[in-house]
Amino acid sequence: MSVQLTGIGVSRGIAIGKAHILQRGDLEVLEYSIPAHLIDDEIQRFRRALEIARGQLSAIRSRIPPNTRADIVEFIDAHILMLEDSTLTVAPEHLIVHHQCNAEWALKLQRDALVSVFEAMDDAYLRMRKDDIDHVVTRIQRTLINQHHEPEDGVDARLSDHILLADELTPADAVLMQHQGVAAFVTEYGGPLSHTAIIARSLRIPAIVGVRNIRRFLKDEELIIVDGQRGVIIADADQRTLDYYHELAEKEQRQQRALRKLKGAPAITSDDQLIELQANIELLDDVTAVLASGATGVGLYRTEFLYMNREDTPDETEQLKCYAEVIKKLHGLPLTIRTLDLGADKEVDSGHTSGRMATNPALGLRAIRLCLRNLSLFRPQLRAILRASALGPVKLMVPMLSNSQELMQVLELITETRRDLERDGLAFDPDMPVGGMIEVPAAALSADFFAAHLDFLSIGTNDLIQYTLAIDRIDDEVNYLYDPMHPAVLQLIHRVIVAGANADIPVSMCGEMAGDPQYTRLLLGLGLRNFSMLPSTLLEVKSIITRSDTKRLRPLTEELLLEYEPTRIGKLLERIATI
């Protein structure tokens, strides 16, 4: 009799192979005192562990094929850079001296302090960056405690065509898995926004996370099936089930080959509706993936990385240089720059904050609220973005707007900044479009007002869904409630799209829902004509668009908007997805 387990599918695809259970064991970090005359020796022991960790990551980096996508390589490079950062290299040494404690304990104290900052962040994507700290610190700790795992670079080289079962995996593990031919992976912990999950999607490795105690239910070398889209693992499958999944896997391979032919083709529906497909980026090297996907521009450029892992804040010149490099690399494609979206945890720049951690940062001083409170933080970015607009097609996008007062303040500041630049004799595009992100229910309900005063709107579904449903999507205890198909969410999305149409301004969507193929036809039926997503999902979404008729989709989506019963909603979505 077959056994079926379920989790969160974070990377689509079918894999059939033998299980390999990766047992690493939990790290037990103990505190003990170091005599004063041995403090220097303890610091040297810590430094040797750092060197070993650098060597391990450098070895992994050297194995990455030259044609690997830039966004994948960046995750490993980021971990290597973290091993050069004083917050992980110098600060623990100070703790060793101050507390006269062992290196493992000092590193744990520093890790806890850093993670507390990230955990307080309201942006789910940024909050998951704490995983990077955990991964790097764990690598150092294993060296200090002498618990090297098999082998030191993370994954056994004999695992070709196996399915890896683990408690959790690092981005370095995910890169090595492709190199070593691992067919898929399943973990007990993790979420859809973790860097490991993002890499799995980029590399198209089927992956499922959040399957608690899976290593207790399955055996090593047991033949299992992983369905990354449905989040299902099947063990002891009968021949009929195996044949079905083999056929499904072959079908997916044929579809992937066909998708590559769509790169240069426009995204036009069967009833001649032209759809804009843009990409989300964070770093300069992400542009390579944008160009490779055939995206028509960047619909979301996150700027938070400029402010993180540093004690000061980037000035106007530094920001302008960064924006200019992206514009140059895009070769004339439009760039939408989102202004700073960090929260009340602002220890990245303590001089610009209240110095007090918010009780609930998701509902506190974040994004545009923070910028309007600290104009010395906001004005240099406005100047840099406006100056960048003279170098290419640039749009400015304001995150987390919630009321008219905020919008009027922003527009006045932009007007003042334009006057200042004119006075200083600095070039900028006076007609640079200014838009706002609709990610708070209050903003969606007031979409008509925002549409009347802005040049474009962009729906941030990640925050809009979790604010509407009052859940934290990366909290394992409640993320099952995260539902893009909740009637309230769909009605808010539709309201924003209609507001844009009435004001004759474009409305885009830059949340993960935009890049999820199961929702593409639904969004087309709701009237969405501008999508922005991870480059890795763009061609599949384009393929669906070219086979869709918006006129036929509209009646079904209108029917869906009136429905509240979950089962009925699911059936309607299935009809919409196959029409």
Instruction: Encode pLDDT of 301-346 as tens digits.
Output: 999 888 876 778 899 999 999 999 999 999 999 999 999 987 643 3
Does residue 80 sit in the same domain as residue 168? no
Do the domain assignments include residue 289? Answer: no
Do the domain assignments include residue 533? Answer: no
Asked whether the predicted pLDDT for residue 366 surpasses 50, the reply is yes
Measured distance CA(446)–CA(467) in Å, rounded = 15
Question: Where residue 15 sits, what CATH number does that domain have?
Answer: 3.50.30.10
Measured distance CA(254)–CA(329) in Å, rounded = 32
| Mean pLDDT computed over 117-140 | 74
Helix (H, G, I), strand (E, B) or coil at 320: helix
Determine the pLDDT at residue 85.
Answer: 87
Measured distance CA(189)–CA(197) in Å, rounded = 11
Q: Which segments within 315-427 are labelled E, that is strand?
A: 335-338, 394-398
Do the domain assignments include residue 544? Answer: no
What is the percentage of the chain residues whose pLDDT exceeds 70?
Answer: 88
Determine the pLDDT at residue 354.
Answer: 45
Measured distance CA(124)–CA(240) in Å, rounded = 41
pTM equals 0.71
Does residue 133 sit in the same domain as residue 183? no
Do the domain assignments include residue 164? Answer: yes
Asked whether the predicted pLDDT for residue 544 surpasses 50, the reply is yes
Does residue 88 sit in the same domain as residue 237? no
Determine the pLDDT at residue 67.
Answer: 55
Beta-carbon contacts of residue 319 (< 8 Å; ≥ 6 apart): 303, 306, 380, 381, 384, 385
Asked whether the predicted pLDDT for residue 359 surpasses 60, the reply is no
> How would residue 211 be classed by pLDDT, with cut points 50, 70 and 90?
very high
Instruction: Encode pLDDT of 138-161 as tens digits.
Output: 889 988 887 444 444 444 556 789
Determine the pLDDT at residue 260.
Answer: 82
Q: Please tell me which residue, 24 or 41, carries the higher pLDDT value.
A: 41
Does residue 49 sit in the same domain as residue 79? yes
Does residue 107 sit in the same domain as residue 207? no
Among 191, 216, 249, which residue terminates a domain?
A: 249
Instruction: Encode pLDDT of 379-395 as tens digits.
Output: 999 999 999 999 999 99
Asked whether the predicted pLDDT for residue 351 surpasses 50, the reply is no
- Domain residues for the domain of 195 are 3-24+152-249
Asked whether the predicted pLDDT for residue 565 surpasses 90, the reply is yes
Instruction: Encode pLDDT of 337-349 as tens digits.
Output: 999 987 643 344 4
Does residue 141 sit in the same domain as residue 234? no
Measured distance CA(69)–CA(3) in Å, rounded = 37
| Mean pLDDT computed over 251-267 | 86
Measured distance CA(340)–CA(370) in Å, rounded = 9
For the chain, give the mean pLDDT: 87
Does residue 87 sit in the same domain as residue 175? no
Determine the pLDDT at residue 241.
Answer: 94
Does residue 129 sit in the same domain as residue 192? no
Four-CA torsion 204, 205, 206, 207, nearest 10 degrees: -120
Measured distance CA(246)–CA(202) in Å, rounded = 22
Do the domain assignments include residue 50? Answer: yes
Asked whether the predicted pLDDT for residue 25 surpasses 80, the reply is no
The answer to whether the beta carbons of residues 443 and 401 sit under 8 Å apart is: yes
Does residue 40 sit in the same domain as residue 139? yes
Asked whether the predicted pLDDT for residue 81 surpasses 70, the reply is yes
Determine the pLDDT at residue 344.
Answer: 40
Q: What domain count does the chain have?
A: 2
Question: Where residue 94 sits, what CATH number does that domain have?
Answer: 1.10.274.10
For 159, the token pair is 């695992």
The catalytic residues are 195, 510
Do the domain assignments include residue 314? Answer: no
Max avg pLDDT among 2-11, 22-31, 124-133, 192-201: 2-11
Asked whether the predicted pLDDT for residue 183 surpasses 90, the reply is yes
Beta-carbon contacts of residue 370 (< 8 Å; ≥ 6 apart): 340, 342, 343, 344, 346, 353, 377
Do the domain assignments include residue 89? Answer: yes
> How would residue 425 be classed by pLDDT, with cut points 50, 70 and 90?
very high
| Mean pLDDT computed over 434-461 | 97
Distance linking the first and last C-alpha atoms of the chain: 36
Among 221, 249, 277, which residue terminates a domain?
A: 249
Does residue 99 sit in the same domain as residue 16? no
- Which element (helix H / strand E) includes 69? none
Does residue 178 sit in the same domain as residue 196? yes
| Mean pLDDT computed over 191-199 | 77
Strands 223-227 and 14-21: antiparallel
Helix (H, G, I), strand (E, B) or coil at 108: helix
- Which element (helix H / strand E) includes 184? strand 184-187
Among 249, 268, 294, which residue terminates a domain?
A: 249
Does residue 117 sit in the same domain as residue 182? no
Do the domain assignments include residue 323? Answer: no
